[in-house]
Structure 1
Amino acid sequence: MFAFQKINQLKGGAALSYVTIFLTNIVGLLLTPFIIRSLGSAEYGLYTMIGALIGYMSVLDFGLNNTVVQFVAKFKAEKDKKGEENFLAHSFIMYTCISLIVVIVGFSIYFNLENLYGETLTPDQFEKAKIMMVILIFNLAISLPGGAFQGICSGYEEFILPKTVNIIRYIVRSLLVVVVLLYGGDSIGLVILDTIMNLIIIVANIYIVFKILGVKIKLHKYDKSLFYNILGFSLWLFVFAIVHQLRWQFGQLIIGAFYSTTFVAIYAVGITLGNYYGAFSGAISGVFLPKAIQMTVGNIPKKQLTDTFIKISRIILLVLLFILGGFVIVGKDFVFFWVGKEYEMAYYYAIIIMVGLTPILSQGFANNILEAKQLLKYRGLLLLLLTVIGTVISILIVKSYGIISMILVTVFFLLLERILMIPYYVKKANLDMKRYYKEISPLFLHVIIATGVGLIIRSFLPEKNIYVFIVNSMIYTILFFSLTKYFITDFEKTFIKSLITKILTKINWSK
């Protein structure tokens, strides 16, 4: 009975993960232009800039939320209830210290806001920034320890209820955003709304943890070594979080220091499109990677491991390159219809970001092998070093050479990291990278041909016409998939046929 419930939790949790991905992407696409038009570009830029500033502070959790998942799952598997209670007590002591640090760091930034943005913000924007900052400091101070309860649920493999709560929260929040803005609300109103919604989610997860799962938090014995174990496990998760913030959030802070908030808004739209691009990869990876990671536990031969790596990468690349090629052809029109003419530069930002993300997103399996073998140190240090260098260069050049120079620097270091990781993947992950690149290269020829022909056709048609946009999208899609059969393997043909069969079966069943 327990095994059956566990399987249901895993399947239900996986299904709800896809629902979440669908919601965040579709609703986000619909909601973003409404928020921009309601707030105006300048205030939307202010909203995203202050959000990025607080988001940067969120790394102060030191990866503790993910650590809670791992340790709780471990104690539960060992049926060590006392150890679990003691671990959670130690964790919340750490969370209390972290929340205190967040408040101290947050108000240190608050009292220096004028030094950071005094030259680029208007007096009205500056006052709004200060109010948002105070609310978001409080939000983060409660959200970090509140996230532990989500981690406990995951450690107990209780996925359905928390994910359902999150989906409901996302839908309600989206509807309330519309209501707030329709009734004249501004960026401060959105920040207050998000804080209230976070409080509700934390209370819901606390109820699940204590009332439904019956978890207890009790300090049985103070154990200094346990603190070190927790920090040791979460160190590299913390490093990866810093890297992510430096790459994608710090840019908004740099731009805000040198340019008006309107430029921040345009950059934020480019980043948002890049995030949507990455979400498609995450959806596919979730299907393949759990099974693939299990292969690293045994002594799997190099050929078999590389075969799996290539299969996963090619499927992900097929989707990513289709999106990338289509965005090159119709992306400028899409941005125009989505958020307006003044955001045209976001199209170019997004293309550069997508190019940089493509090799990273398609090679996720290689990083999972390193994680399974607990070999994160080298990549963590390499990422941190390259990202810090890239950030320093960005600060030095962005004022003189523009925002696009900063994005080019970020992408250059993204691609450099991929190149420098090749020998490590060969040596430590036991992958045949030479064969890997040889077998994925036809997909790039595929997208180059489809995109090239699509651009030629596009050049003869008018711009910023919704009907032309639809026709162009259809022409590219037909062209891409007409060429696909010449570039894909038998495995991929079988996979696509199986996927189509499943979809058609579900449609017929629903009828």
Structure 2
Amino acid sequence: MIGKNNYYLSSLFWSTTARILNAILGFITVPLLLGYYGKAEYGLLSIATACNGYMHLLDLGMNTGAVKFYTQWKTEGKTDKVFKVARTNITFYVIIAVVNICMLLCVAFWGENLFSVTHIQFLQIRSCLLIIALFCVFSWVTTVFNQLLIADKQLAFTMQIQCVQVVLKALAVILVIVANMTLTTYFFYITLFVALACIPYAVKCRKDNLIDGFCPSWYWADFKVVLNFSLSIFALSLFQVTATQSRPILLSIFASNGASAVADFRIIEVVPQLIIMIGGTFSSIFLPKTSEMVAKKDELAMHEFAYRWTTYTTIVVATMCFPFMLNASDVLSAYVGSEYAYLSKWLIIWCLTVLVQMHTTPGNALVLAYGKTKLLVKVTAVSCLFSMLLNVLLCKYLEVGSTVIAYFVYTLIIIGLYYVSFYKKLLGLNRLKLLRCFLVPVIIAFLIFIIVYFIPITKNCFGEINERLAYVLVCIAKTLIWLLPYVGILLIFNIIDLRKIKK
């Protein structure tokens, strides 16, 4: 079984399983809820979650900082420091939760003029914000235990819990249809299921002696070391999260029809979000390993890691991106109906953005392990502000397309910084070799993409069957025709070396 003996494979297996289940749930629930509640009403959920998503900045970068130092201290045998900081972290996140609740209440009761919605629609948003506030403490404290598990290389366990959450969310969707559940009640249940992860996480941490108790404490001397590092990550996260989470919020404010534009955004977001989540999983997998390498000052291991995993990460992301780029129109037609096929060009550009963005994940993990982020913060700040301005300027003309174009520009600026500065000056890597690790699998994928794109496979090839099923079959057929030669070429030319992966 893939699991106990290979950290990378077990983590990737369970992470991918959780993300695929989540993606399947999203693909099923979005059209169901869209049809059941209506486009405008469904868009209200997205506005509420976007508001709270931005408030995750309150984390102050601790999610990355804690994992780095927990891993470092475990490597150095300083378990007592891990215990002290973990319990201090509980106090920290309870404080953060209280602040989060206050901010949600302010938006819920005095933020109606922020959004381009009717008064009735804002009341619905208010209900959702109050539900999020209700579970805030549990959601934030879960982060403490999640950090400990990831630092202990138990990412697979956290992903298994997420698989259970997906099943519970699916039950909530069934109840919507069977029991005629209101939008607010549905939102209550899915928020509850997310918060409940706190229980198994806490039990697992205590059982494996990752924490010596759940009583909040305050060991400032040890906690300050983590906080100081985390604040530099926070400055980076501030602009990264702003660039990401501001997109639907700006749409809701500046688009001519805020709820409708945000609904379009959420429709095409499902595919890129899946790929981004898997990319985020790579970050969680890589950071404990890169922190160990940096602590041991093992430059040879770091260089081998950077080259090998840039190739593998690119292949994994390309394998997900290219099929959706190839079948963008058919995917949307099968997913939410052919009337949304006009969004296909934006889905293609967004997938391309994700492909370019995610290939730097191994390099990013090494940069974070070193903690050299000042230049990255400055460039991220400039690119974030520029992308937001571009989003606002294009919003009136391109609607949802403005968010895609603006984020593509943001991504290109950040990637440029890695190649111009970090790879050579900080990490001592060969930039051309690293670029080749990215370009070789992408060029192969693109050449096959061009060939398959012109193969005349349409829904009419499958006769008189259900229209959406026909679109699904088109997607499957084109994907297989693209995927099989792609994997074959990678294996033939040893770009994928199965012996090294098994080792």
Judge which range, 476-485 or 408-417, deviates more. Answer: 476-485
User: Which amino acid counterpart does residue 392 of structure 1 have in structure 2?
Assistant: L
> How far apart in 2 are the matches of 1:291 and 1:83?
20
The one of 426, 432, 435 aligned to 1:434 = 432
Q: Shift of the alpha carbon at 1:475?
A: 4.6
Structure 1: gaps of 5 or more residues? 503-511
The one of 108, 111, 115 aligned to 2:109 = 111
Q: Shift of the alpha carbon at 1:261?
A: 1.1
- Partners of 2:58 and 2:100 within 8 A in 1: yes
Partner residue of 2:165?
Answer: 169
The one of 223, 230, 234 aligned to 1:234 = 230
Q: What is the root-mean-square deviation of aligned Cα atoms in Å? A: 3.7
> How far apart in 1 are the matches of 2:108 and 2:303?
50
User: Which amino acid counterpart does residue 495 of structure 2 have in structure 1?
Assistant: E
Aligned residues with identical type, % of pairs:
17
Judge which range, 356-365 or 138-147, deviates more. Answer: 138-147
User: Which amino acid counterpart does residue 92 of structure 1 have in structure 2?
Assistant: I
> How far apart in 2 are the matches of 1:313 and 1:246?
26
Superposition TM-score, scaled by structure 1 size: 0.82
Which whole-Å deviations, capped at 9, do the CAs of 1:467-493 have from their partners, x for residues lacking one?
A: 476356435533564366667774325
Partner residue of 1:505?
Answer: none
User: Which amino acid counterpart does residue 474 of structure 1 have in structure 2?
Assistant: A
User: Which amino acid counterpart does residue 477 of structure 1 have in structure 2?
Assistant: L
Partner residue of 1:478?
Answer: 481
> How far apart in 1 are the matches of 2:79 and 2:309?
39
Which whole-Å deviations, capped at 9, do the CAs of 1:52-87 have from their partners, x for residues lacking one?
A: 111111221213344444555566666667655543
Partner residue of 1:42?
Answer: 40
Q: Shift of the alpha carbon at 1:230?
A: 3.2
Structure 1 residue 196 corresponds to structure 2 residue 192: yes
Q: Shift of the alpha carbon at 1:240?
A: 4.3
> How far apart in 2 are the matches of 1:465 and 1:16?
30
Question: Against the structure 1 CA distance between its residues 195 and 295, is the aligned structure 2 distance closer, same or farther, given a 3 Å change threshold?
Answer: closer
Q: Shift of the alpha carbon at 1:114?
A: 1.6
> How far apart in 2 are the matches of 1:368 and 1:86?
25
Judge which range, 437-446 or 41-50, deviates more. Answer: 437-446
Partner residue of 1:407?
Answer: 404
The one of 175, 180, 187 aligned to 2:176 = 180
Question: Against the structure 1 CA distance between its residues 462 and 405, is the aligned structure 2 distance closer, same or farther, given a 3 Å change threshold?
Answer: farther
The one of 376, 381, 386 aligned to 1:389 = 386
- Partners of 1:16 and 1:164 within 8 A in 2: yes
Partner residue of 1:492?
Answer: 495
The one of 132, 141, 144 aligned to 2:140 = 144
Q: Shift of the alpha carbon at 1:128?
A: 0.8
Partner residue of 1:61?
Answer: 59
Partner residue of 2:356?
Answer: 359
1:65-464 → structure 2 map (5 Å cutoff)? 65-72=63-70, 83-117=81-115, 120-155=116-151, 163-210=159-206, 213=209, 215-217=212-214, 224-257=220-253, 258=255, 259-279=257-277, 281=279, 297-298=296-297, 300=299, 309-424=306-421, 425-438=423-436, 440-458=438-456
Q: Shift of the alpha carbon at 1:27?
A: 2.9
Judge which range, 77-86 or 354-363, deviates more. Answer: 77-86
- Partners of 2:380 and 2:414 within 8 A in 1: yes
Tell me the matched-pair count: 490
Report the 3-state secondary structure (helix = DSSP H, G, I; strand = E; otherwise coil) of the residue aligned with 1:216.
Answer: coil
Judge which range, 86-95 or 53-62, deviates more. Answer: 86-95
Judge which range, 250-259 or 136-145, deviates more. Answer: 136-145
Which whole-Å deviations, capped at 9, do the CAs of 1:281-332 have from their partners, x for residues lacking one?
A: 567788888777766644536xx86665444333333343344333233221
Q: Shift of the alpha carbon at 1:445?
A: 3.8
Question: Against the structure 1 CA distance between its residues 199 and 411, is the aligned structure 2 distance closer, same or farther, given a 3 Å change threshold?
Answer: closer
- Partners of 2:48 and 2:129 within 8 A in 1: yes
- Partners of 2:394 and 2:402 within 8 A in 1: yes
Q: Shift of the alpha carbon at 1:337?
A: 0.9
Q: Shift of the alpha carbon at 1:335?
A: 0.8
Report the 3-state secondary structure (helix = DSSP H, G, I; strand = E; otherwise coil) of the residue aligned with 2:445.
Answer: helix
The one of 5, 14, 17 aligned to 2:15 = 17
Partner residue of 2:464?
Answer: none
Question: Against the structure 1 CA distance between its residues 235 and 452, is the aligned structure 2 distance closer, same or farther, given a 3 Å change threshold?
Answer: same
Which whole-Å deviations, capped at 9, do the CAs of 1:131-158 have from their partners, x for residues lacking one?
A: 1111112223441133223334445566
Question: Against the structure 1 CA distance between its residues 71 and 420, is the aligned structure 2 distance closer, same or farther, given a 3 Å change threshold?
Answer: closer
Question: Against the structure 1 CA distance between its residues 237 and 459, is the aligned structure 2 distance closer, same or farther, given a 3 Å change threshold?
Answer: same
- Partners of 1:270 and 1:350 within 8 A in 2: yes
Q: Shift of the alpha carbon at 1:255?
A: 1.0
> How far apart in 2 are the matches of 1:486 and 1:163?
31
Question: Against the structure 1 CA distance between its residues 484 and 224, is the aligned structure 2 distance closer, same or farther, given a 3 Å change threshold?
Answer: closer
Report the 3-state secondary structure (helix = DSSP H, G, I; strand = E; otherwise coil) of the residue aligned with 1:111.
Answer: helix
> How far apart in 1 are the matches of 2:155 and 2:487?
37
> How far apart in 2 are the matches of 1:35 and 1:64?
35
Judge which range, 122-131 or 324-333, deviates more. Answer: 324-333
Judge which range, 315-324 or 373-382, deviates more. Answer: 315-324
> How far apart in 1 are the matches of 2:332 and 2:33?
15
Report the 3-state secondary structure (helix = DSSP H, G, I; strand = E; otherwise coil) of the residue aligned with 2:455.
Answer: helix
> How far apart in 2 are the matches of 1:437 and 1:13?
26
Q: Shift of the alpha carbon at 1:392?
A: 2.9
Superposition TM-score, scaled by structure 2 size: 0.83
Partner residue of 1:508?
Answer: none
Question: Against the structure 1 CA distance between its residues 228 and 75, is the aligned structure 2 distance closer, same or farther, given a 3 Å change threshold?
Answer: same
User: Which amino acid counterpart does residue 278 of structure 1 have in structure 2?
Assistant: I
Q: Shift of the alpha carbon at 1:465?
A: 7.0
- Partners of 1:394 and 1:406 within 8 A in 2: yes
> How far apart in 2 are the matches of 1:202 and 1:107?
23
Question: Against the structure 1 CA distance between its residues 247 and 182, is the aligned structure 2 distance closer, same or farther, given a 3 Å change threshold?
Answer: farther
Which whole-Å deviations, capped at 9, do the CAs of 1:172-221 have from their partners, x for residues lacking one?
A: 2221232134322232112210233244332444444457747225678x
Q: Shift of the alpha carbon at 1:358?
A: 1.4
Report the 3-state secondary structure (helix = DSSP H, G, I; strand = E; otherwise coil) of the residue aligned with 2:213.
Answer: coil
Report the 3-state secondary structure (helix = DSSP H, G, I; strand = E; otherwise coil) of the residue aligned with 2:327.
Answer: helix
> How far apart in 2 are the matches of 1:17 and 1:466?
28
